[in-house]
Structures are given as C-alpha cells and as structure tokens.
Chains A and B, each alone.
Chain A
Amino acid sequence: MGLRKRFMATMLIASMAATLFGCGSASGSDSAIESSQVAEEAKASGADVAQAVIDARKAKAEETGEYQKVVVSFFDWTGAPAGIDRINEAISEHTRETLGLDVELMIIDSAAYSDDIKLMLSSGEQVDLFSTCGPGYMTCVNNGYTLDLEEDDLLATYGAELKDLIRPDYLDACRVGGVLYGVPPIKDYAIQTATILVGTEYLEGAGYDVSKFEKDDLGYYKATWDDVDEIFEAIHKAFPDKTVFSTQDNLLTQGSCVDNVAGDYYGTLLDPANSLKIENVYESDLFKEWAERAYKWNQAGYISGDAMSDKTGASARIKSGSFMAMMSQSKPAYQNQINGECGRDMTIFDVGEAFMSSSAVSSFPWCINQSTEDPIAAMQVLTALYTDPEVANLVCWGQEGVEYKVNSDTTINWADGVNADNSEYYPNVLWMMPNQYAAHVWEGDPIDVGQQTADFNDNCAVKSKALGFTWDNTDYSAEFTALKNAYEEFSGQVVYGFVNPETGLKELNDALYAAGLQDYMDAKQAALDEWATENGIK
C-alpha cells in the first residue's frame, strides 16, 4: 500500500509540477538544434536529409562545445552497473562522430523499472528511447506514452537501415490500430515449448542412459511425457533427499501452443495455427492433461509441499542444489544460457513443439517517448542501436579489453580477471537488446546464431494466425481485475497438483465465469473478428 500510494503521490506531484511549470522542456536543450527545421531546408534543397541533420548537430556542438543528448532506458537485474559512466562515454565518443550527439544509457533495476519509467514518461523527464519490457507494450500505448514512428515519415527517412533490417511482417505485428509505436528486438520470436531440463549430474547419478533418445533440429534430446515420467522416477529413487521438479506457473506460457491472444489467458486460441475461435483454455483437454500430470507428480512426491508459497525462480532453486529438474522453453543456443542460470550442466529434453504466438513479436518492442524533444535524433539513435556493431557491442557487452576479450574466431569471453560477479558492465539482458546479433557472439554459442535464430523463427511449425493482433481491454478492466483475482485464488492448487483436477478445475472455472469470463471472451472474439476482416485473414 505504502509503496503504491507513495508512487501515486509522486506521480501526481510530478505531473502537477510539469503542467504548472511548463514541462521543464527548456532544460538542457541549449545544445539541441531545430531538427525539423534543418530537415525542411535540406528537403527543399534536395540534399540527404538525415546527413544534413547530423551535420547541423555537429556544427551546433562546435559552437556551444556541448553535444545534444539522447537518453536510452532499459532494465537489468542489479541497477545501474558500476561502469555505466565509462560505457556512456565510450558510446558517445563514437556517436559524436557518426550522429553528432551523446548517448546516455539509463539502466534501472528490474524491480523498479516498470514504475520508474512510467513516472519519467508522464512527468516530462528526459528519456527518449525505452524498452517496454517491464511496463508492457500495450500499457504504454494505451497510456499514450509512445510516439508514432511513422509520423512525418520518421522511420523511412531517418531509420531507413532499421526499416530494411526488420521484416515488414514483424513490424506489422507491432502495429496497434494500424499505427506503429515500437520496433521489436531482434531475437527468437518462436519458442520450443515444453522443454524439460534435468541436472546432468543427477541423470548420471541415477545411471540413466540418455543415448537412446534421438536429437531434434536444435540438437536437444527428443522425448515424450512417458519418458519424462521414467526419468523423474529414476532420479527420485537415486536422490530421495532432493525434490524432483522445481515448479513455476508456466504450464501454458512455456508448456503449450495455446495462444494467449491480447496478452492474457482469459479467452485463448487453442489451435492458433488453424482457427481464430476464442475458447476457455481452463476447460480444455490440454489444460486438464497438464493438471492431471501435475497431480500425478505431486502424489508421487516430485513436487515440494511449499510449491505454492515458495516464489523463488525455478532455475534459482536448481542452482541451490535441492531441486533437480524444471520445465522451460528452449531456442537455438540455449545450453549456455540455462547452464548459467542453473549453475550446473543441464540436459535438455524437448517434449513440445515450436510455436510462435500472436504476441511473440510485440511483447516488448523499443519505443520513442511521445514527449521527446527531438524525435529525429531519437530515431537515429534507435537505428544505430540496431545496425551499428560498435554501439551494439558496447550496449550488450561493454568495452573490449575491459569487460571482454575477442577470440580469434570473433567470439568473445570474459577479459582476464573479469567474471559475471565483478564485471563493471554486464546487464545480462541480451534477449531485450535491440539487436544482439549485431554484437559479438559469446564463446560456446554457434557463430551463426543470428542466422540459426532467423531460421528457427521461419521454420516454426505452429505459427499463430493472429500474429500481430492486439486489443485494448480498458473497457473490460473491471472484468480483467476480477478474472485475475479469481485465477490467482483457484489456480495454484491445480497448477502445482495439490488438488484432484476433477474438483480443482471445476472450482477454477466456476470462479472465472462468475468473474465475467464469458463477457470478456465475447469482447475479445469481436475485436479479433474485426481485426481478421481488416487484415484479410480467414
């Protein structure tokens, strides 16, 4: 309560102050040029508009001795890294040459980012570019924080390279009501669902032979749920003091191809590749199967009695050494990542299939703040983040020779004496970065991981037909709030197998329908149908 209220109070004061004292927009803009004016003149004379703006900025900087600054904000796990000033200076040194401006990374602790960024966006504090990972893309769009990237041909004129880099269908997937408010980070949009991870040492300890499994396209063992049961039984017997399965509420998100259209599971596409019919997943056979599996595992003693109250992350529990297996989703070059997260060698069993949901691309695009003083400069920096390897390397990995060193095959590893714990710049949010593939590849990952990921996205077996559908649910926020509370009240015991699915599922569904699930699904269906007609999807 205290936190939320204090946040609201600060929010209101900030916005009051902003309205009363004219947004403080005059601050620090001595070094800014009138970009749009320069652009107009350049356009009239037929010159390269983007270059003209850069030149004008440089000229202005010569005059004032100070460069215009563009602020980029995203989160990491620990707050601003120790070396942030050094990295900012290194990036700026480069961008002064290429773009005629300074870049400042404002990295905020993941726990605070969502609130902080909303506060900054609504109070007029300078932040020009930001990741919507945290506050959520739709929240930012609905609250009006984001700039239309195609206003006055902004993207085409100043982000031409960026526009070429990202496939049109992925850009389209980020449109809301036809307007492009964000650019997706280049990453794996498809996921390999239902990946079971088991500590290799436990498999060996149980004498379980994995050589009988064939490997899938990604190089992971292809297994069935029966195999998983067998594995769990074996490691349970060999290590009775350890808990077998480290749970988290991800049966649907990571364990199924059910599409949570519009960002929530209250009304989903059960067969997203073929049908646009919104259905209640919690009544489906698929969810029932999961509930029965969880119940069976719980009865067999594979799940901790504290599963419902223990909020530790699944991989962190495995790292602690008292849990042996978990479920997650995989992708190309997943082995390094998961070994790091779990602090030990993990064996990957692929039980599901590849899936790209409707929100896969638009889950957390990069956006420009609608109140930015200079949209042109912001767009040019955004483009540099995606296309300039020097900038991408600095943002993703820090400085060469300080944070990392380059091997002969262009992969990188920690610089001498540096590791994850003492590195002065290690945000460890590669998947959120605009374009991780413009930067170096970490040692051990395939050198062509960018191409592999692109292929993985393209070859995805189950691609949702609703790719790019978004829905503003603010008219149904009362239902949403009630549904969310109902779900949290009755889902845990089902998801973690503490209740017989027969009774548990009935309780859950009764509560959801009482909270207005039918109305909510109907509204979603209507919006989806309208979207499908507009976009010619059948």
Chain B
Amino acid sequence: MLEKDGEDMSGKTKNKNEKKNLKRRIKKYFPIYIMALPGLVYLFINNYMPLPGLVLAFKKYNARKGIFGSDFVGFKNFKYLFATRDAFVITRNTICYNLAFIIVNTILAVFVAILIAEMTSKWKKVYQCLILLPYMVSMVIVSYLVYGFLSNDNGFINNTVLPLFGAEPVQWYMEKKYWPFFLTFVNAWKVIGYNSIIYISTILGIDRGIYESAAIDGAGKWMQIKKITIPLLKPTVIMMTLLAVGRIFYSDFGLFYQVPQNQGSLFAVTNTIDTYVYRGLLELGDMSMSAAAGLYQSIVGFILILAANYSVRRIDPDSALF
C-alpha cells in the first residue's frame, strides 16, 4: 500500500517537485522506516551478505586459500546433481510432491479457514490453537509419532487396527506404494493450521456489510461462501501459491528424511534433492557441492516464480505479486 501511494503521488506531480516530494515522503514515513529497520538489517545480513559467497559453487574450496582465493573449477560441482541415474527421480519427487502439497494444502487450509471464520462457538479459539499445534512440533517428533503407527512389530496399525478387520500386518517401511499418501497426509496435517491463519485473517477483513446485504437478498450460508468469501480470498490464494511455487525446488528435509526413518527401500518415493545432497555430502563435507545445490535450487525457484507471476499477470493483473 505504501508504495502505491508514493507512486500515485509522483505520477501526478511528475518531475517538477520530485525531489521535494521524495523528501516529504521520507519524512512522512520515517517512523515506519525505523520500524522496518531491524527486519531490513536482518534481511541484509542473512540474505544479501552471503550472496558473494555463491561464487563458492564454482570453486574447489580450500580453507588455506579462502573463499575468494580458491581455484575455479567451472560447473564441476553441479555434475552430481545431473549426471547420475538418480537425477530424474529426485527432481521428479521434489516437484511432484511440492505440486501435490500446494494443491492439497491450499484446498484444506481454505476449507479450515472458512469453517473457523464461520464458527460462532466459544471454543473457536481452542479449535484454532489445536489445529495450529502440529505446526509447532519438530519433524523428528512427528517421525516418531508416525513410527508409533507404522512400526512393524509394535505399531498401532499392525497391532490394533488391522487385526480388527482380520487383515495381515503390512511391512509399512518397505512398501513404496503407500508413502506418497503418508507424506502428503503428514505434511497437510502439519501445515494447514498455520496456512489457514492467513486465510482466516483475510476472511475477517472482508466487509461484513457485503454479507449482510447478501443475506437480505436471500443468500444462504453456502451461497455467501461461494459468491463472496471464495472470490475475495482469490488474491490471497494466488499470492500464497506464488510464494510456494518459488520454493518448489526445495523440499522439507525433515519430512522426507526423518518421517520415512531414512529407509532405503523407500528412496524411490522419498528421495528429494535435499535428502540426496545431504546423504552424499554428509561424508564428503564438501562446501562447494553444497553451495552448488543451493544455487541450483534457488535459481530454478527464481525462474519459476517469475514465470508463474508472468502468467498470473496475463490472466488477472490485480493478483500478480509484481
């Protein structure tokens, strides 16, 4: 909003008063800049200062020569991400899981947000907290919760649930076919509470007057949700999705490494770029290869987010991020 105001003003007054305008603008928003300062400093230190270090991806790191003194080796550090038989599997897994997560999580989070926003019970806050709880739990703990269900010998499902139906125990950690579902489920369970917060706040920000007039015109709850809430949520959904698309080449390490208990027989459906890099580099301890993987992920993410934003702008300019 801030930027838009500024743009409008300078657009109107053109070049003449631009300098004066700028000064006034800075003065006007000075307290806000001060408020933003810690965040900006953090952003600068955490995200901009390491940028020159990206050069490491093209070097063979040697502590004696330092980051900038080390020898250039071209694209050699990237080779391991492409030149192996696993390259296809890890890229496919990373992208497909993330696409599935984006779709499933968005639908569920919007659903939950609408439910909570429509709720009038005094327990509303309690529900909201409960559904947020999984987000706060460490993936390592989640992995053991899952293990408690799926363990071959002592698991809840093999020992209690399956015998109820007279079914044979399943070796869960050796059967690939179930895991795409498990991982999607665990991920959704963990993040929808958090994702729904943003949707809830958007819904609460919608002018109640619109609903009232709709109600007067005879629209039921369902009609109100369909015709008012969802259309007004659209920009937020698009923004959240765009952000998620930018991270489509990253995977939640804990989810793919801890939750399947780093189980070899499941690699075909659980190995992602992050877990692959981690397994290989854990022993090599090679900083350059690690930097190469990070650079590759962020560049692809950058391109994808630009492309996604471009297509959104073509279809609906108001919803585009930039």
Task: Give me the interface of A with B, judged by CB distance under 8 Å.
Answer: 1-5, 8-9, 11-13, 15-16, 19, 114, 118, 121-122, 135-136, 139, 142-145, 264, 304-306, 308-309, 311, 370-371, 473-474, 477-482, 484-486, 488-493, 498, 514-516
Contacts and interface: CB of A to CB of B under 8 A. Distances in A.
Contact of B63 (A311, A370, A477): A370
Interface string B247-288: 000111110000001111101100100101111110111110
Interface string B139-168: 000000001000111100000000000000
Given A482-B86, A484-B283, A309 B65 contact: no
B253 A2 contact: yes
10 contacts: A2-B253, A4-B274, A15-B66, A16-B52, A139-B285, A144-B61, A309-B263, A371-B63, A481-B276, A481-B284
B186 to A, nearest CB: 15
A143 B62 contact: yes
A309 B173 contact: yes
Contacts of B276: 481, 485
B253 A308 contact: no
A161 B291 CA distance: 43
B185 interface: no
B63 A144 contact: yes
A144 B284 contact: no
A12 B53 contact: yes
Contact of B151 (A9, A309, A370): A309
Given A121-B63, A477-B284, 18 more contacts: A4-B290, A8-B50, A11-B287, A15-B67, A16-B52, A309-B173, A477-B286, A478-B80, A478-B83, A481-B277, A481-B281, A481-B284, A482-B84, A482-B85, A485-B267, A490-B264, A492-B263, A515-B86
B311 interface: no
A1 B294 contact: no
A515 B279 CA distance: 14
B4 interface: no
B155 to A, nearest CB: 9
A449 B32 CA distance: 71
The listed residue with most A CB atoms (<10 A of its CB), out of B46, B264, B267, B277, is B264
Nearest to B282: A484
Contacts of A2: 253-254
A246 B114 CA distance: 51
A1 B284 contact: no
B280 A493 contact: no
Contacts of B46: 9, 13
The listed residue with most B CB atoms (<10 A of its CB), out of A135, A478, A479, is A478
A139 B262 CA distance: 24
Contact of A13 (B49, B152, B154, B263): B49
B28 interface: no
Contacts of A370: 63-64
The listed residue with most A CB atoms (<10 A of its CB), out of B45, B84, B174, is B84
Contact of B251 (A1, A264, A493): A1
B173 A514 contact: no
Contact of B80 (A371, A481, A491): A481
B305 interface: no
A405 B45 CA distance: 52
B255 to A, nearest CB: 9
B60 interface: yes
